[in-house]
Amino acid sequence: MTKHRDHIPAKEFLQRLESLRKGSISRRDFLNATGLGAAAAVMSGAMPGLARRAFAQGAIGDRVVIATWPNYHDPADLEAFRAATGAAVDVNVFGSNEEMLAKLQAGGTGWDVVVATNYTISTYVEQGIIEEIDLSRVPNFDRSATDPRFADPGIVDGKTYAIPRNIGTTGYCINTNDLAGGATPATWKEFWDLARGQLTGRAMVHDYQLTAIGNALKYHGYSFNSVDPKELADAEALLIDAKPHLFAINSDYQPSIRSGDAAMSMCWTGDAVQLQRDMPEIAYVLGREGGELWSDFFTIPASAPHKEAAYALIDFLLEPQMAAKEALFHGYPTGDARVDALLPEEMRNSPILYPAADLLNALEFGAAVTLTNPDRAEIMARFKAA
């Protein structure tokens, strides 16, 4: 999360301004460091002309709770929502869909919006965890703007249960300064070999069965989604073998990469963009063998206590200008053509956001079976307990 300070000393402000003029820092960094970005966002949210839809103050309540991913929303945008509607956004951050599912199954989460990944939607619908979206309450959603490949997992039996938010890939980020002049790797095989060799003690793996196991399966050339017992056994053997060499098993890897404690980590698109912004030496690698392509969705749990506010928040974040502003922060493509058109040139040309076709074609969407498969769940738990 970006830290916004309350104030900045005048001298530092002038220094930053000078750096901005000389081009040694980006406009974004300048706005972040000085707090002007947050101030502008709050103001734009508070100005009735800028907030597209007028929300009657208090009509949606004073609170909305969203379960989402690390580094996924600009706090300033959520603050702008509060300024526009009076509802404060309570953010619950998770490292895996499985963790979200566990909480939803246990009940009593109090969540109003859940950001869920493609492979969970059908299970959530079957279990009655999420309810159909009333599209009339999200006027900012335009189905025709999103590639059906990414939007379709949100539709079950012809009904829309989930609205696409972001799309992305799962690769790995690596600090090229730590490669001692070696070539930047290009495969998952190299990831696991580096983790157990040159980068021992400095590699991170997601605390997330889908990607941790999926990318271990890729080492052996199996499908990312395999639930075949023999193939899973091979993946487990690799995970257990790599474990003593790992720096950590954690889905919030940015702090460790930034501090230099870790040199390499399984990584999602947006985190790679965020890291590369500040550390140009970070490379983002999509394994040539394949890996994961995903789309995330806004969903509303059947148990949501503040449904009005949930719809309001989703619609607020879907508005193309706002979605583009969010994309600048989180670094994920939204998959929405209207938003793409608003992004700066360098983002539209970024190979991290929009990988080359041959790399993209090798990727797989996570399969629903992996969410509930008991073997994968137990392998992940054994890997961590080993």
Tally Cβ neighbours within 10 Å of residue 86.
Answer: 17
Site for other proteins in 118-137 (CB under 8 A): 123, 126-127
**Span of 164-172, 310-318, 342-350, 369-377 interacting with other proteins by CB under 8 A:** 369-377
CB of 111 to other proteins, least distance (A): 15
Q: Which is nearer to other proteins, 41 or 101 (CB)?
A: 101
Structure tokens at 63: 């609170």
382 binds other proteins (CB under 8 A): yes
Number of residues binding to other proteins, judged by CB under 8 A: 36
One character per residue 237-276, x = contact with other proteins (rule: CB under 8 A): ------x--xxxxx----xx--xxx---------------
One character per residue 173-202, x = contact with other proteins (rule: CB under 8 A): ----------------------------x-
Of 29, 90, 99, 241, the one binding other proteins (CB under 8 A) is 99
- d(CA 383, CA 239) in angstroms, rounded, equals 6
| Residue with tokens 């600090």, as numbered in its chain | 175
φ/ψ of 365, rounded to 5, equals -75, 140
- d(CA 307, CA 300) in angstroms, rounded, equals 8
What is the chain's percent helix, strand, coil content, to nearest 5? 50, 15, 35
Which regions of 104-261 does DSSP assign to beta strands (E)? 113-117, 155-156, 159-160, 163-175, 203-205, 246-249
- 88 Cβ contact partners less than 8 Å away, ≥ 6 residues apart: 62, 63, 64, 82
Of 74, 112, 207, 289, the one binding other proteins (CB under 8 A) is 207
103 binds other proteins (CB under 8 A): yes
Which spans of this chain sit near other proteins (rule: CB under 8 A)?
Answer: 96, 98-99, 101-103, 105-106, 123, 126-127, 201, 207, 209, 243, 246-250, 255-256, 259-261, 371-372, 374, 377-378, 380-382, 384-386
